[in-house]
A = this chain, B = another copy of it.
Amino acid sequence: MSNANVVEKYLTALNNQDLDSIAALYAQDATVEDPVGTPLHTGIEAIREFYTKATSIKLTAELLGDVRCAGEFVAFPFSITLPSEHGPMCIEVIDTFKLNSEGKITEMKAYWNEQNTKLVK
């Protein structure tokens, strides 16, 4: 599986609220930092717990440009659209994944903050 395919599987699983498929992309001892600058979620159980909230919401994840593969890493721009009390909100995010030789994600970093969050008109 190419590193770009991992991104396709990840976004498909987010759109399908498919927690098991997301967890299956991660190595057992992986770390998730989302957003960057906040405490790490370390290990597959903590990662499953982190994604439990995201997969409980009907959201739309959409790739916004090329998947960039480089060395052991992949980086990609995407948007998450989700309901809010003021109507649909859209967040522009960049994720980086570090992958091991088996193609599992060992490190995920999500770059975004409130300024990347907008109400959809």
Contacts and interface: CB of A to CB of B under 8 A. Distances in A.
Number of copies: 2
A78 to B, nearest CB: 10
A71 B36 contact: yes
A6 to B, nearest CB: 14
A10 interface: no
**How many residues of A sit at the interface, in one of the four size bands?**
20 to 34
Nearest to A94: B75
A101 B53 CA distance: 34
Contacts of A112: 68, 70
A121 to B, nearest CB: 16
Contacts of A113: 68-70
